[in-house]
Amino acid sequence: MTSVSDKNRVLIFDTTLRDGEQSPGATMSHNEKLEIASLLDEMGVDIIEAGFPIASQGDFDAVSEIAKNSKNSVICGLARASFGDIDRCMEAVKHAAQPRIHTFIGTSPLHRDITALTMDEMADKIHETVTHARNLCDNVQWSPMDAIRTEHDYLCRTVEIAIKAGATTINIPDTVGYTIPRESSDIIKMLLERVPGADDIIFATHCHNDLGMATANSLAAVEAGARQIECTINGLGERAGNTALEEVVMALKVRNDIMPYNTKIDTTKIMNISRRVSQVSGFVVQPNKAIVGKNAFAHESGIHQDGMLKNAETFEIMRPADVGLSGTSLPLGKHSGRAALRAKLEELGYELGDNQLKDVFVRFKELADRKKEVLDDDVVALMQDTGSESQNEYIKIKHLRVVCGSEAPQTADIILEIDGEEKHCTAQGDGPVDAAFKAIKELYPTQARLQIYQVNAVTEGTDAQATVSVRLEEDGRIATGQSSDTDTVFASAKAYVNAVNRLIVRRTKSAPGADTKEVSYKDAG
């Protein structure tokens, strides 16, 4: 663990797999969690909050497996202020080379009312639970949930108790995104000045983005003395999300002249993990999102283009290569070979073996036959679609034909392979997509409710690929499917089938030991 003597070192605590996954509809499969954890580990994240082990057997298994596989990162689990939660957390993270227990309780008047504890009773509970955690693990983090709205005197009192009980990191969460930069800074300064032992531990900041200031609030806390930032990839998280890892890391890198702090994040890996998190969560990154948005390094204005041609620094404060993008262009089309495709994939951050490249090349050629030019975003969509097909496919689309026009109803003729057996159906609907979904549902009946249907054009033009995201809900289980194709209806059908396949997997696991959230809980941020 980094010591507090490293005054300019800022630890990056990633909670994509815990707080990020709590975002409605962002639930990830076991294998997806392991993959994201591996990418975070490789990127140089200091602490990975891998989940909430008491929530379900699935969460416990994921945290345990991530702990076993971690090479560099501290692996952390979340636990409420109870011995049972803390014991279960330790059981999950104990396999890590560097385990951490993160325990919390809501300290604001609003949260004290919920727990029906007096200030003194809560203080005793903090002492007992943090002491218990420290007896199990040398690395203990404690959070006063809703710290920003906690009375300052009581906040100082509870932080002092946690430090004396053995907490090595104190996290100050802005649980509801309520603070502003000045207040975020002032609270950290106050705790450092007023709390005995504060100089011997690390203060962390955990900000939500409800007022759009999560990144600014986190950086203000660092300038005040906090040395750990809690964040997520793409700012994923409940409500308006959390502090975005890519934003705080690049802000510290680009403005190191006035914020002389450093992290150990390999920023060239940012784009790759951003795309993967977007795919597995089903949350599309908005085009104008800082650092990782599609338009973050795009210049359309004539004045901007002229300036860029003369000197890129005129309108770019960071190089595309700094976050894993290339400033050069390698046009791809139907005449391109494997070498060109491999070069483009490597440029975009994908490393494929020969067999993987062979499979992707076939799909690339099919796409190139339908498009005049295959752009970078097309290749990314192709890789994401390829990744989605690696999951268990109980249902596959063998044939789809739709008939549509100005006169309703529309018709979809489909053949599905279900558990190895081909089945045929023709259905009508209010539009070709509705007809296709009804045909799929007739061949494989399900009570799943369509929560979200979203279509995004990957590139411009009439031959653009469409990336379709479909979210289904069935008996509390949520599954997201995604697919890309130049045929929007076909992409929609594939995305729907992908989501159904995920539901089937989760349905089979919903007996005891299921990967579902079985415990009602509140987070530490």
Mark the binding-site residues for Mn(2+), compressed into ranges. Answer: 19, 206, 208, 242
402: left (phi over 0), alpha (psi -120 to 50) or beta: beta
For residue 471, count CB atoms less than 10 angstroms from its CB and return exposed for 0-12, middle for 13-18, buried for 19 or more.
buried
CA atoms within 13 A on the CB side of 492: 24
Cβ count near 328 (within 10 Å)? 8
Q: Helix or strand or coil: residue 408?
A: coil
Bridge partners (DSSP) listed for residue 303: none
* Contacts of residue 321, Cβ cutoff 8 Å, sequence gap at least 6: 268, 327
* 456 membership: H or E segment, kind and range: strand 449-457
504 phi and psi, to 5 degrees?
Answer: -60, -45
Q: How far apart are CA 450 and CA 179, in angstroms?
A: 36
Cβ count near 215 (within 10 Å)? 24
Cα four-point dihedral sign 279, 283, 285, 291: negative
* Distance, C-alpha 479 to centroid of its chain: 15
Q: Peptide bond before 432: cis, by omega within 30 degrees of 0?
A: no
Instruction: Please state, in angstroms and as integers, the Cα–Cα distance from residue 319 to each residue in 108, 308, 315, 405, following that order.
Output: 43, 12, 10, 47
Please choose, from the candidates 82, 198, 221, the residue with its C-alpha nearest in 3D space to the C-alpha of residue 148. Answer: 221
Q: Which residues are annotated as a binding site?
A: 19, 206, 208, 242
Q: How far apart are CA 184 and CA 108, in angstroms?
A: 16
Cβ count near 461 (within 10 Å)? 11
Helix axes 354-368, 338-347, angle to 10 degrees: 100
Q: How many helices (H) and strands (E) does the chain have?
A: 16, 14
Cβ atoms of residues 13 and 231 within 8 Å: yes
Q: How far apart are CA 433 and CA 455, in angstroms?
A: 11
Q: What is the CA radius of gyration of the chain?
A: 25
Please choose, from the candidates 156, 177, 164, the residue with its C-alpha nearest in 3D space to the C-alpha of residue 130. Answer: 164
Cβ atoms of residues 344 and 332 within 8 Å: yes
